[in-house]
Amino acid sequence: MLGLPRSTEVNRRVAKEKLYANATLTPKTRDIIKEQIEAVVWRNKLAAGTIGISAGEAVREIQVFEVQLRQRELDKRVLPAIAKAIPYKILFVLIFNDEAQVWMEVSGVFYNTDRLPLDGFTLKLEGLNLDAVYENLARQIAGGRLGTGGDIDEAVERDKQRQKLEREIAALEKKILHEKQFNRQVEQNVELKRLRADLEELQ
């Protein structure tokens, strides 16, 4: 799966009870996992011993978990809850019918790929250690939102700012359309121009 080396394969089912035992879950989140997830399978382990790349300072191992869904969408509370229960970086592959979508957490933010056919994509393992591999995987999954170089935490922060500006621009454009007073429209257009300039600078 994902074109990862055979040496990384684990292919071991993870009992939901184990997740419940290790994670601090609200009764609601527990119910969501029961309702929305069919099974969780530990597919791959990316580590010094399985891919021949040295461990990083921050990243010792990356686990690949396949999450088989009972419905197309998974509640947003589930992946963070599972991630907190496991002391390693996790790459989640959500599968529903014949589609897969990859999710990964970076600096507190979850990024994901588009939905693609199960055999429709591979991930490249690039980097001299697991810190670099993790960052490169994150950039692939984020689909350009985190750029191609530089500090990953700073890239996430820039992406958050960019999303915030995009939301503000969309809201202001809507306001301008419905504004009746000309002088208010002028003020709002000045503000819109400033926000667009800020966005351009970030990009």
Same domain, 47 and 95: yes
Question: Considering the domain boundaries, does residue 95 fall inside one?
Answer: yes
Same domain, 123 and 187: no
Question: Considering the domain boundaries, does residue 169 fall inside one?
Answer: yes
Average pLDDT of the chain to the nearest whole number: 90
Q: Which amino acid is at 152?
A: I
Q: Which amino acid is at 2?
A: L
Q: Is the pLDDT of residue 87 over 90?
A: no
Residue 202 or residue 127, greater confidence: 127
Question: Considering the domain boundaries, does residue 1 fall inside one?
Answer: no
Residue 120, classed as helix, strand or coil, is: coil
Structural domain boundaries enclosing 49: 6-149
- pLDDT (0 to 100) of residue 66: 95
Question: Considering the domain boundaries, does residue 123 fall inside one?
Answer: yes
- What phi, psi does 165 have (nearest 5°)? -65, -40
Q: Which token pair is 54?
A: 């040295």
Region 21-28 average pLDDT: 76
Are the C-beta atoms of 46 and 133 separated by less than 8 Å? yes
Same domain, 94 and 74: yes
Same domain, 134 and 197: no
Same domain, 118 and 39: yes
Spatial separation of the C-alpha atoms in residues 114 and 102, rounded to whole Å: 8
Are the C-beta atoms of 104 and 141 separated by less than 8 Å? yes
pLDDT tier at 199 (50, 70, 90 boundaries)? confident
CB crowding 77-88: b at 16 or more within 10 Å, else e: ebbebbbebbee
Question: Considering the domain boundaries, does residue 135 fall inside one?
Answer: yes
Same domain, 130 and 173: no
Same domain, 16 and 93: yes
For the chain, what is the domain count? 2
Same domain, 184 and 137: no
Domain boundary among 107, 127, 149: 149
Angle 8-12-13 from CA coordinates, rounded to 5°: 145
Spatial separation of the C-alpha atoms in residues 145 and 16, rounded to whole Å: 33
Residue 200 or residue 39, greater confidence: 39
Q: Residue 53 has what DSSP assignment?
A: -
Each residue's pLDDT tens digit, 95-154:
999 899 999 999 989 999 999 888 777 888 999 999 999 999 999 999 888 988 888 999
Same domain, 145 and 184: no
- pLDDT (0 to 100) of residue 62: 96
Q: Is the pLDDT of residue 163 over 80?
A: yes
Same domain, 175 and 102: no
Region 50-77 average pLDDT: 93
- pLDDT (0 to 100) of residue 76: 92
pLDDT tier at 168 (50, 70, 90 boundaries)? very high
Question: Considering the domain boundaries, does residue 137 fall inside one?
Answer: yes
